[in-house]
Amino acid sequence: MRPARAVAGWVALVLATTLAWWLLAPQPPVVTDGEQRVSPGLPELAAAQDGVFVLVTAVAGALAGVLVLRARGGPTGPAALLALVASALGALATSVLGSALGDLVAGPRRAPALPADVADRVAEGVVVAPSGLELTAGAALVVQPLLAALVVTAVLVVAMLRGPSRDPEEDAAPGGETDDGAAQAGAGRASGA
């Protein structure tokens, strides 16, 4: 694959993953006192956003692994290593771009109206702010490269296991015939006699 084409594909995959995270992750408004968030359910919101991030980057990692396997000339060590590094950078770029996008534009998965007790607190000076997107679990960044490596490794292991179990050179007879060829020649002589 040409380097320019590979970079363009990587950029397209990062943008698609970022957009998918922004579209699918919940981004309800949160209640804040101006300095810190006081909205109930914030840990659940963070877990939901991280879970959606893991889902979309897992799909991107699996896709990157498939692209390595389909590369012209077959999968090579350098291509697999490059896919691993590109996937790690892609997950990091998705996290940064998604957070920036979530801070600029509210996503479509907004929560319904605030409960009455929150509305009362808003009247007391507590404000409602958009939550945006934020990746709180740094470990989620390893999902995309791990899936890329897992897909490549699994396909190569299955291909090795399905391949011939015997070496053709071991079967060669001194006369240049394989054992199968010698057996067929012997069977032909025996039936002709």
Place of tokens 């840990």: 43
Residue 98 contacts residue 22 (beta carbons within 8 Å) = yes
149 shares its domain with 189? no
Number of domains in the chain: 2
- In whole angstroms, what is the distance from residue 131 CA to residue 129 CA? 6
Q: Are residues 154 and 179 in the same domain?
A: no
Enclosing domain of residue 181: 168-193
Would you call 88 exposed, middle or buried from its count of C-beta atoms within 10 A (0-12, 13-18, 19+)? middle
Q: Which structure tokens are listed for 40?
A: 């109930």
Claim to verify: residue 157 and residue 180 sit in the same structural domain: no
31-40, 62-71, 89-98, 132-141 — which is least confidently predicted?
Answer: 31-40
Task: For residues 25 and 90, state if they share a domain.
Answer: yes
For residues 123 and 186, state if they share a domain. no
pLDDT confidence bin for 133, thresholds 50/70/90: confident
Grade residue 94 by pLDDT with cuts at 50, 70 and 90: very high
Lowest mean per-residue pLDDT among 25-34, 55-64, 97-106:
25-34
Between CA 74 and CA 83, with CA 79 as vertex, the angle to 5 degrees is: 120
Answer yes or no: do 32 and 74 share one domain.
yes
First-last CA distance in the chain: 60
In this structure, the answer to whether residues 172 and 132 fall within a common structural domain is no
H or E segment and range at residue 31: strand 30-32
pTM for the full predicted model:
0.71
126 and 185 assigned to the same domain? no
If 0-12 CB within 10 Å is exposed, 13-18 middle and 19+ buried, where does residue 13 land? buried
> Which residue type occupies 143?
V
